[in-house]
C-alpha cells in the first residue's frame, strides 16, 4: 500500500537484494567449492561496491528478479514488475568475503560505541593566582541573602567564592534532607543580585568514586545530581568539589586550583585533583558469567514499559523462570495482565504484587514472602520504577524532591538495607538510573538528584563486596510509560547540547547485556551523536565538560579569526552602526538565537512582536536563550530576562539599551515585515 510513495520501496529493494545476494552467492560458492574439491563450506559475502544501479519505473509493489554472474566476485540484477515492465537494473554488485570473526566484531560495535563509563581523570597542575582568593562560608539561604545585600549595598566586597559544606549523615532521610538544604541555598544564590561575579562552591566528602572508587556518602551523591542540573541551567555560577578531608583543610589547599582550572566539577584526593570525563567501555568479555539464570527468582520493580521490556528480556535472553513483579498498582497496572500471559506462555512463572517500595515495612514483607529454597530464592533485583517531576531549579520545592525520591531513591535504599539485613545472597542488583544525574540534567533537577543517589548507593554497595550496577540510561524510543514523556523540544535540546539521540528497545537490551557482564558499577548506556556535538562546538556552543574526553573543546573561530565584520562580537559591531541598524542587528540576533533554541533551521517563525511563550518557549528554554545571549553579549543578564521581556522585539530593545548605554530605538521590523 505504501509503494506509490517511493521510487522503489526500500523494503522491496532490500528484500530483493538480500534474497538474491545471499542465495545466489551461496549457490555459486557451493558450486565453485564442489568443482574445486573444497572442504571449507560456504563463504559469506556482503555487498562492497555498486556499479550501474538505475531505476526505470516508480511505484512497483512486487518484483520478479533475475540474477546473473558477470564475474567471479560480482552479481548483476534485473527486476521487472508483475506486468513485465522494467523497474531496476544493476550492472554489478561486488561482494567481499566476511569471516565469522569480522561479523562478531561488527555485531558488538553498536554496543561498545553506546556504552560509557565515568572516568576520573587527573587534572594537570594549574598555575594558581599568587594572591589567595577570598572566600566566605555559607550554610543557609538566609546567610546567602545577607551576603548579597551587603555586597549590593557596598557594605562588603564580593568574595571570589562562597563555600557551602554539604555532607550527609547516616539517617535514612539524609539524602532528601541534604538535597533540600542545598536546593534552598542554590535558589537564593541564583535569584539574588550582586554576586554574579562570585562562585558558589558546594563541598561534599566521599560523594563520588574518585580515587579508590568508593562512595562513603550517597547523600552527597544526590547533591551532585542536583547541582549538576543547576550548573547546566546556569553556567559559571556554581562549582562542585568533593574532598577526602574536612572543608577548612580543603579550602586551604584547593581554592586556587578550583578557580584557576575553570572546571565545574572536581575531586580532591590529597594534593591531586581529578575531573569527570565520559569514556567508552572497551574490553568487555563475551564469556563473562551470566548475572541471571534459570535458578531462583528475580524481582523487577516498576510496571512501566522499561520494566516490561526487562521482564521479557530476562525470560527470553537469560532463561529466567521465576519473576516477581512489584509496583504500586500490582496486577491493576496497565498492560500487566497481558505481560503475565505472554511470559507464562513462554514457560515462566510470574507473580505480581501490589507494593509501595518507598514503604520499608511493605518491602520487608515482600522480601520475606519469597521462598528460600534453591529454586525459588531471590537471586536478582532489577529496579526500574520511578516518576519524573520536571522543573527548573528555581521552581523546585522540597515537596517536589520528595515526590521523586520516594519511588526512585527511597525504594532502593530499602531494598539495599533489607537484603543485607535478611542475609540474601544476590547474584545481581541492577538499578535503572538516568543520564540526567551525570550530565544534561537541565530542567530535571529533582530527577537528577534521585538518580545520582542511586549511582552513589551502588558504588557504596560495591565497596562492601556486594553486587551492584547502576545504569544511567540515555533517551529511549518509547511510546508508553515514563520514558515516553520526554517532549520533542527537550529531545532536540539534549541532542544539540549533549549529542543524545534515542535508542530502540532492541539496542537498549543489547546494552543491558553488555553492561551486566562488564564488572563496572556505573555505566551510561546512551546513543551519543558526537558529530553533532563537534558541530555545535564549532559554531560556538562549546562542549560539555563531561564529553571533553570524547570531543576536543576547540576555540570558536568567530572569536579567533577577527577577519570579517561577521566575526566580530555584537558589541564591537554595534559601535560602528547608527541606532536603527543597531536595533535591527540585535533583533536579528535575538530571533536567530530563539530559533536555535527551538530547533528551527530558520527564523521564519519568530516574529518580532509575538510572545516567545506562545511559540513554544518554557522556563527551561527561556533560561537557555538567556545563557546564549549572555555568552554573545558578555554581559550580566538576569535569569528572568525572557519573562521580563517576552517578545523578540522587547528583548532586542532591552539588549540595545544595555549594550549601547542609551535609550534604544523601537524594534526595527514589524511582524508583517518580519514574515
Domain ranges of the chain: 3-98, 297-432+449-528, 565-674
| 202: CB partners within 8 A, 6+ apart | 164, 166, 182, 186, 223, 227, 238, 239, 240, 241
Task: Report the predicted TM-score, pTM, of the whole model to 2 decimal places.
Answer: 0.77
What tens digit of pLDDT does each residue of 576-586 get? 788 888 889 89
Mean pLDDT of 292-305: 93
Query: Which band of pLDDT confidence, cut at 50, 70 and 90, is reported for residue 39?
Result: very low
Q: Which residues contact 401 (CB under 8 A, 6 or more apart)?
A: 176, 179, 180, 183, 446, 449, 450
The residue to which cell 547474584 is assigned: 427
Look at 95 and 122; give whichever has higher pLDDT.
122
Per 3-state DSSP, what percentage of the chain is helix, strand, and coil (rounded to 5)?
Answer: 45, 20, 35
Helices 445-463/411-421 angle, 10° precision: 20
Confidence of residue 495 (pLDDT cuts 50, 70, 90): low
Cell of 160: 571570589
- The predicted model gives 616-623 an average pLDDT of 86
Q: According to the CATH classification, is domain 565-674 in 1.10.1200.10?
A: yes
Residue 47 has pLDDT above 80, yes or no: no
Q: Pull the grid cell for residue 364.
A: 520487608
Per-residue pLDDT tens over the stretch 52-77: 999 999 989 999 999 888 877 788 88
Whether the predicted pLDDT of 613 surpasses 80: yes
User: If you search the block for the grid coordinates 567508552, which residue do you land on?
Assistant: 280
The pLDDT value recorded for residue 163 is: 95
Strand partners, 137: 163
Give the residue-averaged pLDDT of 139-146: 96
- Which parts of 438-578 fold into alpha helices (H)? 445-463, 488-498, 505-516, 530-538, 557-560, 570-575
| 262-271 per-position pLDDT tens digit | 999 999 998 8
Which whole number is the average pLDDT over 420-445?
94
Q: What's the CATH code, domain 297-432+449-528?
A: 3.40.50.720
pLDDT value of residue 173 = 66
User: What per-residue confidence (pLDDT) applies to 50?
Assistant: 83
Amino acid at each position: 500500500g505504501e509503494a506509490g510513495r517511493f521510487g522503489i520501496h526500500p523494503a522491496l529493494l532490500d528484500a530483493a537484494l538480500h534474497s538474491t545476494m545471499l542465495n545466489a552467492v551461496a549457490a555459486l560458492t557451493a558450486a565453485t567449492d564442489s568443482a574445486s574439491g573444497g572442504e571449507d563450506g560456504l563463504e559469506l559475502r556482503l555487498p562492497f561496491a555498486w556499479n550501474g544501479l538505475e531505476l526505470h519505473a516508480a511505484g512497483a509493489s512486487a518484483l520478479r528478479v533475475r540474477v546473473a554472474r558477470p564475474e567471479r566476485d560480482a552479481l548483476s540484477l534485473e527486476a521487472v514488475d508483475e506486468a513485465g515492465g522494467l523497474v531496476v537494473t544493476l550492472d554489478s554488485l561486488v561482494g567481499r568475503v566476511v569471516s565469522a570473526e569480522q561479523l562478531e566484531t561488527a555485531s558488538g560495535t553498536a554496543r561498545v560505541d553506546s556504552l560509557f563509563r565515568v572516568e576520573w581523570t587527573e587534572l594537570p597542575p594549574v598555575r594558581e593566582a599568587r594572591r589567595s582568593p577570598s572566600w566566605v562560608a555559607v550554610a543557609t539561604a538566609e546567610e546567602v541573602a545577607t551576603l548579597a545585600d551587603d555586597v549590593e549595598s557596598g557594605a562588603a566586597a564580593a568574595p571570589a567564592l562562597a563555600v557551602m559544606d554539604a555532607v550527609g549523615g547516616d539517617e535514612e532521610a539524609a539524602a532528601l534532607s541534604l538535597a533540600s538544604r542545598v536546593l534552598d541555598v542554590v535558589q537564593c544564590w541564583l535569584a539574588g543580585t550582586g554576586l554574579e561575579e562570585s562562585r558558589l562552591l558546594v563541598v561534599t566528602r566521599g560523594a563520588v568514586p574518585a580515587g579508590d572508587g568508593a562512595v562513603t556518602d550517597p547523600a552527597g551523591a544526590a547533591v551532585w545530581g542536583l547541582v549538576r542540573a543547576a550548573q547546566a541551567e546556569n553556567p559559571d555560577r556554581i562549582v562542585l568539589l568533593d574532598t577526602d578531608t574536612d572543608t577548612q583543610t580543603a579550602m586551604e589547599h584547593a581554592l586556587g586550583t578550583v578557580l584557576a582550572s575553570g572546571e565545574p566539577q572536581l575531586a580532591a584526593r590529597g594534593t591531586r585533583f581529578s575531573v569527570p570525563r565520559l569514556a567508552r567501555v572497551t574490553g568487555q568479555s563475551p564469556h563473562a558469567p551470566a548475572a541471571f539464570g534459570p535458578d531462583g527468582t528475580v524481582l523487577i520493580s516498576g510496571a512501566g514499559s522499561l520494566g516490561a521490556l526487562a521482564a521479557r528480556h530476562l525470560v527470553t535472553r537469560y532463561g529466567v523462570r521465576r519473576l516477581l513483579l512489584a509496583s504500586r498498582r500490582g496486577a491493576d497496572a496497565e498492560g500487566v495482565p497481558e505481560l503475565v500471559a505472554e511470559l507464562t506462555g513462554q514457560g515462566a512463572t510470574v507473580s505480581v504484587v501490589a507494593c509501595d517500595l518507598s514503604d520499608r515495612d511493605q518491602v520487608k514483607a515482600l522480601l520475606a514472602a519469597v521462598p528460600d529454597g534453591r529454586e525459588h530464592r531471590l537471586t536478582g533485583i532489577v529496579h526500574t520504577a520511578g516518576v519524573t517531576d520536571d522543573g527548573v531549579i528555581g521552581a523546585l520545592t522540597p515537596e517536589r524532591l520528595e515526590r521523586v525520591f520516594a519511588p526512585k531513591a527511597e525504594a532502593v535504599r530499602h531494598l539495599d538495607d533489607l537484603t543485607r539485613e535478611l542475609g540474601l545472597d544476590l547474584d545481581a542488583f541492577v538499578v535503572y538510573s538516568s543520564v540526567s544525574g551525570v550530565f544534561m540534567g537541565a530542567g530535571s533537577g529533582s530527577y537528577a538528584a534521585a538518580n545520582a543517589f542511586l549511582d552513589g548507593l551502588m558504588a557504596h554497595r560495591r565497596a562492601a563486596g556486594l553486587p551492584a550496577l547502576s545504569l544511567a540510561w540515555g533517551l529511549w524510543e518509547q511510546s508508553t510509560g515514563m520514558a515516553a514523556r520526554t517532549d520533542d523540544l527537550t529531545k532536540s535540546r539534549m541532542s544539540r547540547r549533549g549529542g543524545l539521540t534515542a535508542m530502540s528497545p532492541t539496542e537498549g537490551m543489547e546494552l543491558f547485556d553488555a553492561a551486566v557482564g562488564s564488572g563496572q558499577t556505573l555505566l551510561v548506556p546512551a546513543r551519543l551523536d558526537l558529530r553533532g556535538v563537534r558541530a555545535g562546538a564549532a559554531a560556538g556552543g562549546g562542549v560539555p565538560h563531561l564529553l571533553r574526553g570524547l570531543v576536543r573543546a576547540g576555540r570558536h573561530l568567530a572569536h579567533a579569526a577577527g577577519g570579517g565584520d561577521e566575526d566580530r562580537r555584537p558589541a564591537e559591531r554595534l559601535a560602528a552602526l547608527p541606532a536603527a541598524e543597531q536595533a535591527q542587528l540585535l533583533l536579528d540576533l535575538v530571533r536567530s538565537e530563539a530559533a536555535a533554541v527551538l530547533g528551527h533551521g530558520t527564523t521564519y517563525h519568530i516574529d518580532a512582536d509575538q510572545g516567545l511563550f506562545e511559540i513554544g518557549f518554557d522556563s527551561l528554554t527561556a533560561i537557555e536563550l538567556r545563557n546564549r545571549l549572555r555568552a554573545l553579549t558578555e554581559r550580566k543578564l538576569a535569569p528572568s530576562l525572557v519573562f521580563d521581556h517576552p517578545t523578540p522585539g522587547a528583548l532586542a530593545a532591552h539588549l540595545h539599551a544595555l549594550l549601547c548605554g542609551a535609550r534604544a530605538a523601537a524594534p526595527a521590523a514589524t511582524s508583517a515585515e518580519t514574515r
